[in-house]
Amino acid sequence: MTTLANLQTLFQRHLLEGDAALAPYLARGGAFLPVYRNAYGARLREIMAGEFPGVAALLGPDRFEATVDVYLADHPSTHRNARWLGRHFTDWLGATDIGRRHPVLVDMAAYEWALSFAFDAADADALPPEVFATVPPDAWPGLTFAFHPSLRLLTLGHDLVDFRKAAAEERDPDNAPTALEKTSGWAVWRDAESLTVQHRPLADDEADGLSALTDGGDFSNLCDRIADHLDASLVAARAAELLGHWVGAGWIVDLGGFTLDAHAD
Amino acid sequence: MTASAKREAGDPASPFGNAQTPFAGFGLGLRVPHYADILDARTGPHPDVDWFEIISENFFEAGGLPRRNLMRVRERYPVAMHGVSLSIGSSDPLDMDYLHRLKTLADLLNPPVLSDHLCWTGAHGLNMHDLLPVPLTEESLKHVAGRVRQVQDILGRRIALENPSSYVAFDCDEMSEWDYLSELTRQADCDLLLDVNNVYVSSVNHDFDAVAYLDGLPADRIKQIHLAGHENNGDHIVDTHDAPVTGVVWTLYGKAVERFGTVPTMIERDGKIPAFDILVAELQTARRLQRGVLHAAPKERAA
Ligand SMILES: [Fe+2]
């Protein structure tokens, strides 16, 4: 190994684990080396606290810091952009004791990551409603949909919105997040006009239908999922209603599964 | 090509032919709390702010409010790009995905200066999100110079490297940081961003003469100056970027102006960000100081 690579290996090991093997290679014994290690921990904790203010508020500052330190030891940053530091946090938290005992933490982490993701996800133009009129009737069953890059679907068992808002604004929340009677689908996305991040709960048939489509399913799969919830005679009207909501919210950015050649004339 | 051969980007002799955005005067780092002031529709560009500098990585994601605001600022001002993750000194291979994103943003903004730091930010595929010092050896110089040339070829523009603040030095160091940077500009045909605060911080931490540092740099390569605040801990100083510029750094800035002339200068504030007007007032101090120095000794400075 070259001197450069060797020194960097030792330096990094010092930052991550406090390994002392670097010190003999430093001028004047490296008296101020702790500046780097302290800054490393402080910086990454600050980034995580900025991404997950709701989780931090639920855990309290000391427990959040301790939790984040364990997370960062398991998932040191591999990305040039620090904004991705928390991308494994939800799954990681879900597999920890504290996450299993307090599922509200995992819900909050998932919700906060979706908010952060939606904030600056790629731009894409929403499909104008008129486009649907150009789809030939026999193409509808195989029609597939591409969704806005900012759209994230979540399944949450708690009402997190007010608590999270208070935590992000550094206010004391009025109430702890309450558990819902049953889990519910949620959508998080960025509004195309205001560029603000929006969220709303989804009806059960809507959540099922949407996840079928985001998994690559087609319009017939959407109708099948709706049929799990509704009488067959109501499915077509409900599918049209849901598509209307999604187009109106700017969630659908492209169609696939048919070619315009079929009706070019 | 020798060190004294002056080439401006856009010069037919330059391999980097981009028509560059004109760059002069005094700027500020673009920070979220100031967007409302900067983009106030009733006022035009601020009379006392000539340009802004962004942290490039903050705009790598493609969309949303950050991008819309950036483009609105760009309509009013030149925007310099300052990166923190190039990791030019790392023993890891260059990150091509990173460079691709950097190039996409640079092609969009056409920055008058595109800079990062003489440092490494991680090895073995990890990122420490800090500006870590490189050993000042012939070995690392050759390594860094080769990578700067590669980066400039990929970006199609010259880059400027900034002197970082540092808290440790290596026993194996073979030269001063100013000699290292000077040699780097020759070997890699790159520019420098001079952070006057960082020179001062490192001069205390490593006990060297800050003015000798300035005197050792090639004047024709310095394309931008940073000023910032720091935290004095007695035996060492930490570059915190969260306080006003201190008196001793203003004095050193005066020396830099004497030596390098009207280099575009900005104030960097990353923490405890004050109201926009307060930073503009601090920037006016830099403007007055530069004017005063140039009036006092117009002939003595190195061009
Ligand atoms: Fe700087």
Q: Give the closest-approach CA distance of B54 to chain A in angstroms.
A: 14
Predicted confidence band of residue B303 (pLDDT cuts 50, 70, 90): very low
pLDDT at residue A260, rounded to an integer: 58
Per the prediction, chain B carries an average pLDDT of 90
Cα–Cα separations (whole angstroms), residue B270 to A248, B31, B208, B279, B282: 40, 8, 26, 12, 15
Q: What is the pLDDT of residues B201-220, one digit of tens each?
A: 999 999 999 999 999 999 99
B181 or B14: which leads in pLDDT: B181
Ligand 1 centre to CA of A258 (Å) is 54
Ligand 1 centre to CA of A183 (Å) is 49
Per the prediction, chain A carries an average pLDDT of 93
- Are B60 and A81 an interchain contact pair (Cβ–Cβ within 8 Å)? yes
Q: Could you give the dihedral angle defined by the CA atoms of residues B269, B274, B280 and B281, in that order, rounded to the nearest 10 degrees?
A: -110
Ligand 1 centre to CA of B143 (Å) is 23
- Are A4 and B62 an interchain contact pair (Cβ–Cβ within 8 Å)? no
From the list B128, B143, B206, the residue facing A4 with the nearest CB is B143
Predicted confidence band of residue B45 (pLDDT cuts 50, 70, 90): confident
Ligand 1 centre to CA of B144 (Å) is 19
For range B260-278, the mean pLDDT: 93
Beta strands B114-117 and A144-147, pairing class:
unpaired
Is residue A263 scored above 80 in pLDDT? no
Is residue A191 scored above 60 in pLDDT? yes
Contacts with B61 from chain A: Cβ below 8 Å: 81, 83, 120-122
- Are B235 and A39 an interchain contact pair (Cβ–Cβ within 8 Å)? no
- Are B127 and A78 an interchain contact pair (Cβ–Cβ within 8 Å)? yes
Which residue in B67, B61, B84 sits closest to A117, CA to CA?
B61
| CA–CA gap between residue B88 and residue B162 (Å, rounded) | 11
Element (H, E) at A255: strand A252-256
pTM for this one? 0.89
A29 contact B CB<8A: no
Ligand 1 centre to CA of B246 (Å) is 15
pLDDT at residue B16, rounded to an integer: 57
From the list A36, A81, A122, the residue facing B57 with the nearest CB is A81
DSSP assignment letter at A2? -
CB-based contacts of A165: which residues, under 8 Å, 6+ apart? none
Token look-up 């702890």 returns A176
Q: What is the pLDDT of residues A225-236, one digit of tens each?
A: 999 999 999 999
Token look-up 């440790």 returns B168
Contacts with B128 from chain A: Cβ below 8 Å: 12, 15, 40, 77
Is residue A259 scored above 90 in pLDDT? no
pLDDT at residue B46, rounded to an integer: 87
From the list B132, B143, B235, the residue facing A11 with the nearest CB is B132
A191 contact B CB<8A: no
Query: Hey, how many other C-beta atoms are within 10 angstroms of the C-beta on A73?
Result: 10
The amino acid at residue B242 is: D
Among A1, A45, A80, the residue to mutate for chain B (most B Cβ within 10 A) = A80
Domains delineated in chain B: 22-302 (3.20.20.150)
The amino acid at residue B259 is: R
From the list B57, B236, B238, the residue facing A80 with the nearest CB is B57
Query: Hey, how many other C-beta atoms are within 10 angstroms of the C-beta on B288?
Result: 10
A210 or A80: which leads in pLDDT: A210
E strand intervals along chain B? 26-29, 51-55, 79-82, 114-117, 160-162, 191-195, 222-227, 231-232, 237-238, 265-267
DSSP assignment letter at B133? P
- Are A25 and B172 an interchain contact pair (Cβ–Cβ within 8 Å)? yes
**B169, closest residue in chain A (CA to CA):** A27
Tokens coding B268 = 């960097």
Contact A239, A222 (CB under 8 A): yes
Judged by CB atoms within 8 Å, which residues 66-95 of A form the interface with B? Answer: 76-83
Ligand 1 centre to CA of B164 (Å) is 7
Is residue B6 scored above 50 in pLDDT? no
Which residue in A41, A207, A28, A95 sits closest to B167, CA to CA?
A28
DSSP codes of every residue in B10-32: TSTTSS----PPP--SEEEE--G
3-state class of A217 per DSSP? coil
Q: What is the pLDDT of residues B71-95, one digit of tens each?
A: 999 999 999 999 999 999 999 999 9
Among B103, B167, B207, B208, the residue to mutate for chain A (most A Cβ within 10 A) = B167
For range B68-72, the mean pLDDT: 93
**A9, closest residue in chain B (CA to CA):** B123
Is residue A192 scored above 50 in pLDDT? yes
Among B57, B126, B168, B201, the residue to mutate for chain A (most A Cβ within 10 A) = B168
Ligand 1 centre to CA of B87 (Å) is 15
CB pairs under 8 A between A and B: 135
pLDDT at residue A240, rounded to an integer: 94
| CA–CA gap between residue B142 and residue B131 (Å, rounded) | 19
B272 or B281: which leads in pLDDT: B281
| CA–CA gap between residue A121 and residue A39 (Å, rounded) | 29
Judged by CB atoms within 8 Å, which residues 100-159 of A form the interface with B? Answer: 118-124, 149-150
Ligand 1 centre to CA of B84 (Å) is 10
